[in-house]
Amino acid sequence: MPGNNRFELSVKLSVGQYIPTGSVIHRLDPRVKLIMGMLLIAASIISSSLLSLVFLFAFVTASLIAARIQLKLAFSALKPVMPFLLVLALIQVFAIPQYKSSAVILWHWRILKISDQSLLAGLLLIGRFSVIVMGLGLFSFSTSTTQLLHGIEHLLRPLQKIKFPAHELALVFNIAIRFLPILAAESEHLMKAQASRGADFGYGKLNFIRRIRQMLPLFVPLFVQSLRYAFQLVEAMESRGYTGGKGRTHLISMRAGYKDFAGLAAGICVIAASLVMSALKIDRVVLGWAGLI
């Protein structure tokens, strides 16, 4: 069928896919990558500078190259979320104007106003989400679900002294990530089955409301199939005697080496530099040097 590749959701899904290339990024301790991921997300949210977000985006892109991941595959994760980001950015620009004494009105029509501050807020929104999505893609491409499970559990193990369910929480994250490709494949089957019966999912059309409405019939069978998979998983775990993390021993014991500490130190330096750029308002400094302000 021509254009059948538009239904290949599992191919387009970057989160949940592991690509073993044997790179230095893949060989890093998963605990280091988890800490770096959390710091990257925090820095992206805190940053109020476009140049600092561009700096973080360049750092993630360089890490993807070091991990020997095709950039085309990595950037494909931004394509499905970009329309929603643009809508959110427009809402930020028009509905939430940034009224400050230093704000400059760039455009005004009746009750609609666009200031330099509101435009900056919209661009920051797109930049933050782009960095976070690319960072999650990098983590997914370079870390298997088994490594993720052990990394989360080892990071949270000290909290077990206060009866925090570290193993159970790590298992929940593991199952959730493993289910993403499964649900994407199931969505493909449902879409192809309904398309063969004449269903129109509105691909190539600019009417987002119509496209969303055409997707609604997929939710019920997808939800039912998800419950079926969940019950099968529960039965499989119970039949193998799974009773939780209490009293369990560990086959794999993680120990970080000097390369892991060096990678963590390098990542912290990059994130700290981006925060310094944001605190110093480097955007205004660069624009001042360029004579634009």
pLDDT digits (tens, 9 = 90+) for 111-137: 667 776 777 788 888 899 999 999 988
Residue 164, pLDDT > 90, answer no
d(C-alpha 261, C-alpha 176), whole Å: 29
Half-sphere exposure of 247 (CA within 13 A, CB side): 3
Helix (H) / strand (E) element for 194: namely helix 166-196
168 close to 158: Cβ distance less than 8 angstroms: no
Q: Is residue 269 part of a domain?
A: yes
Q: CA 175, 176, 180 angle in degrees (round to 5)?
A: 110
Residue 246, pLDDT > 80, answer no
Compute the residue count for the chain. Answer: 293
121 close to 93: Cβ distance less than 8 angstroms: yes
Task: Give me the amino acid identity at 164.
Answer: F
More confident residue, 56 or 214: 56
Q: Is residue 189 part of a domain?
A: no
Top mean pLDDT of 198-202, 250-254, 262-266 is at 262-266
Q: Is residue 190 part of a domain?
A: no
Q: Is residue 164 part of a domain?
A: no
At residue 286 the predicted structure's pLDDT band, cuts being 50, 70 and 90, is: low
Stated pTM of the model: 0.76
Q: Is residue 203 part of a domain?
A: no
At residue 3 the predicted structure's pLDDT band, cuts being 50, 70 and 90, is: very low
Task: Round the average pLDDT of the chain to a whole number and report it.
Answer: 79
pLDDT at 266: 92
Residue 248, pLDDT > 90, answer no
64 close to 40: Cβ distance less than 8 angstroms: no
Its domain, for residue 276, covers 10-143+255-289
At residue 2 the predicted structure's pLDDT band, cuts being 50, 70 and 90, is: very low
d(C-alpha 271, C-alpha 267), whole Å: 6
| Structural domains of the chain, count | 1
Query: How is residue 199 written in tokens?
Result: 């269903």
- Average pLDDT (8-28) is 75
d(C-alpha 160, C-alpha 173), whole Å: 17
Q: Is residue 99 part of a domain?
A: yes
Q: Is residue 182 part of a domain?
A: no
Spell out where 80-122 has E strands: 105-109, 112-115
Of 242, 236, 240, 245, which is closest to residue 153 (Cα–Cα)?
Answer: 245
Q: Is residue 5 part of a domain?
A: no
More confident residue, 23 or 170: 23
Residue 24, pLDDT > 80, answer yes
